[in-house]
A and B are shown apart, each in its own frame.
Chain A
Amino acid sequence: QPVAMNAFELISMSKGLNLENLFGT
């Protein structure tokens, strides 16, 4: 449930913050 999470837990889910993708994985 999104409302049970804190704001930063939610923000961390952004694809733009997932730098693993830089490596083509």
Chain B
Amino acid sequence: MGCGPSKGRRQYLGNEDPVFLASQTTFSVSEVEALFELFKTISSSVIDDGLINKEEFVLALFKNRTKENLFASRIFDLFDVKHRGVIDFGDFVRSLHIFHPNTPLEDKIGFSFKLYDLDNTGFIERKGVKQMLLALLGESEMKLADEAIEMILDKTFLEADINQDGKIDMTEWQHFVSKNPSLLKIMTLPYLRDITTAFPSFVFNSEVDEDAA
């Protein structure tokens, strides 16, 4: 480890130091440190407490404080692994790890399943999917009649819900995304490959000798 603690840094990192987080994820130590620069910006945008609350998360996504969004809220809840209403740096790194281009597909499929399992029942249910479609329409210019929405749901569940019990289980979801791989596109952020280039200032704040990691 490097020399003395820099101001404010320990407060953010707690016990989750970059070497430990890198060992648990696809990220290198430098990449974890670069993510810390991003984390600092987001977590101090409303309250500078070293944690990201939902308002800060939505603000970072939309650059707009007032927007209420089902999907952003859902992603936030999944990032908030400890269910404390806030995301700490460890949660942030471990969650973004799922979105790394090198992370196994299985992990991405698992995360996307949880994302769409709105009521946490262990299934993707038709009523939840309808709720998400309505939320999408609410945030876009797109207009669809209820009959058209029901048609889309019929078609989707006919294909995805193999045993036709009205809900999609994990095995059915795996099968469905393997036939529709574009659905996993949102689960990969190519940007994460270049995170050290995006946040070069991590070098000045680094406390870790990369060779020692």
Please report A residues at the B interface, Cβ cutoff 8 Å.
Answer: 2-3, 5-23, 25
1/0 per residue, CB under 8 A from A, across B40-74: the answer is: 00100000000000000000111100000111111
Binds A, one of B20-28, B101-109, B152-160: B152-160
Asked if A22 meets B60 with Cβ closer than 8 Å, knowing A9-B182, A14-B135, A15-B139, the reply is yes
Query: CB-CB < 8 A to A7: which residues of B?
Result: 129, 132-133, 152-153, 156
Q: Is the CB of A16 within 8 A of B61?
A: yes
Q: Is B203 an interface residue (CB 8 A)?
A: no
Question: For this complex, into which size category does the number of interface residues on chain B fall?
Answer: 35 or more
Q: Is the CB of A16 within 8 A of B153?
A: no
- Among A15, A16, A18, chain B packs the most CB atoms within 10 A around the CB of A16
A11→B151 CA distance, assembly (Å): 15
Chain B binding surface SS class: helix
A20→B186 CA distance, assembly (Å): 9
- Among A5, A8, A11, A22, chain B packs the most CB atoms within 10 A around the CB of A8
Please report B residues at the A interface, Cβ cutoff 8 Å.
Answer: 38, 42, 60-63, 69-75, 96, 99, 115-116, 129, 132-133, 135-136, 139-140, 142, 144, 148, 151-153, 155-156, 159-160, 176, 180, 182-183, 185-186, 189, 191, 198
Q: Is the CB of A6 within 8 A of B42?
A: no
Closest to B191 in A: A23
A23→B60 CA distance, assembly (Å): 8
CB distance from B119 to the nearest CB of A (A): 16
Query: CB-CB < 8 A to B155: which residues of A?
Result: 6
